[in-house]
Amino acid sequence: MDARPANVDPSEVLVMVLAGGEGKRLHPLTIDRAKPAVPFGGRYRIIDIVLSNFVNSGLTKIKVLTQYKSASLEEHVARDWRLAPIPMRRCSPVKRR
């Protein structure tokens, strides 16, 4: 059974992954990196599970939003997943109704 609505084209869906957690409960693994960048199983990172699930579901337009100590996470995603970074020079507020 396919959980997606019939009228949604997966190639038109933009996935936004919020990956900026400090990971206090994973201390000392998160001293130098964000929680999603913590390595496990050799070459993998926690974020790889999330990204793999999206790609295997046919969702390939993916952007990862980072915040806390994001350098190693951004390097890993750019290198191993080949996701192009988007420079965020300005942010537009959403109007309230």
Cβ 36 vs Cβ 19: under 8 Å: yes
Q: What is the pLDDT of residue 51?
A: 92
Q: What is the pLDDT of residue 1?
A: 57
- Which of 16-20, 82-86, 89-93 has the highest average model confidence (pLDDT)? 16-20
pTM for this predicted structure: 0.74
The mean per-residue pLDDT over the stretch 40-50 comes to: 89
Q: What is the pLDDT of residue 49?
A: 92
The mean per-residue pLDDT over the stretch 61-77 comes to: 86
The mean per-residue pLDDT over the stretch 54-83 comes to: 85
